[in-house]
């Protein structure tokens, strides 16, 4: 790999800043590795619209980005999802729920958001999606594999 092909951390940081300036938000995708599920999250929703950042775990990069873009478009149009609606939110044909993420998980999952916001606090909500049988990872009947593929980063009873 030549130097012109090497992507540096500075390049990634510039890309985040550029995307937030141009599109009002940025999507970070973390690929599946060593059996750990992939995840994607936003940076800039809170900066731009004072809306909590969002994370989704266990979906493909394309599906995750489509879900996050749909929500970002709704937020931009001043039609944000109700993050506390116990009935859920229909997103790409799935009834999803939003769960506030415990800040202890931020460093493990949203490192670039921590970099972007520096020492400023920002809220983060996880988009929880059901399996094919409409079971959520906190349900008693959820399989161990499903719970491990989509770890819950907050308290579902809150």
Q: pLDDT (tens digit, 9 = 90+) per residue, 22-60?
A: 999 999 999 988 889 999 999 999 999 999 999 999 999
- Report pLDDT for 8: 61
For the whole model, what pTM was predicted?
0.92
Tell the residue number behind the tokens 């999952």, with chain if given.
Answer: 109
Residue 158, domain member (yes or no): no
Residue 68, domain member (yes or no): yes
- Report pLDDT for 3: 44
Pairing mode, if any, of strands 39-43 and 124-128? unpaired
- Report pLDDT for 127: 98
- Report pLDDT for 71: 98
- Report pLDDT for 5: 52
Residue 66, domain member (yes or no): yes
In the chain, the number of structural domains is 1
Return d(Cα 129, Cα 66) in angstroms, integer: 14
CB 60 within 8 A of CB 27: no
Q: With pLDDT > 70 as the criterion, what percentage of the chain qualifies?
A: 95
Average pLDDT over the chain, rounded to an integer:
93
Residue 36, domain member (yes or no): yes
- Report pLDDT for 125: 98
Return d(Cα 140, Cα 64) in angstroms, integer: 25
Say which range, 13-17, 53-57, 67-71, 126-130, has the weakest mean pLDDT: 13-17
Q: How confident is the model at residue 96 (pLDDT cuts 50, 70, 90)?
A: very high
Residue 155, domain member (yes or no): no
Residue 157, domain member (yes or no): no
- Report pLDDT for 10: 86
Each residue of 66-91: pLDDT tens digit? 999 999 999 999 999 999 999 999 99
Residue 105, domain member (yes or no): yes
For residue 46, give its domain range: 8-149
- Report pLDDT for 1: 40
- Report pLDDT for 54: 98
Residue 1, domain member (yes or no): no
CB 104 within 8 A of CB 69: no
Return d(Cα 149, Cα 154) in angstroms, integer: 15
Tell me which DSSP letter residue 33 carries: B
């Amino acid at each position: 790999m030549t130097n012109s092909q090497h992507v540096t951390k500075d390049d990634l940081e510039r890309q985040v800043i550029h995307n937030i300036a141009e599109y009002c938000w940025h999507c970070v995708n973390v690929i599946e590795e060593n059996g750990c599920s992939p995840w994607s999250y936003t940076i800039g929703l809170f900066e731009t619209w004072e809306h909590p950042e969002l994370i989704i775990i266990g979906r493909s990069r394309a599906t995750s980005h489509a879900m996050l873009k749909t929500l970002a478009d709704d937020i931009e149009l001043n039609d944000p999802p109700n993050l506390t609606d116990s009935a859920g939110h229909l997103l790409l044909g799935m009834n999803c729920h939003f769960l506030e993420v415990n800040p202890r998980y931020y460093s493990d999952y949203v490192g670039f958001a921590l970099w972007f916001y520096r020492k400023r606090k920002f809220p983060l909500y996880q988009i929880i999606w059901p399996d094919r049988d409409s079971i959520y990872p906190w349900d008693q009947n959820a399989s161990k594999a499903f719970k491990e593929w989509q770890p819950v980063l907050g308290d579902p009873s809150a």
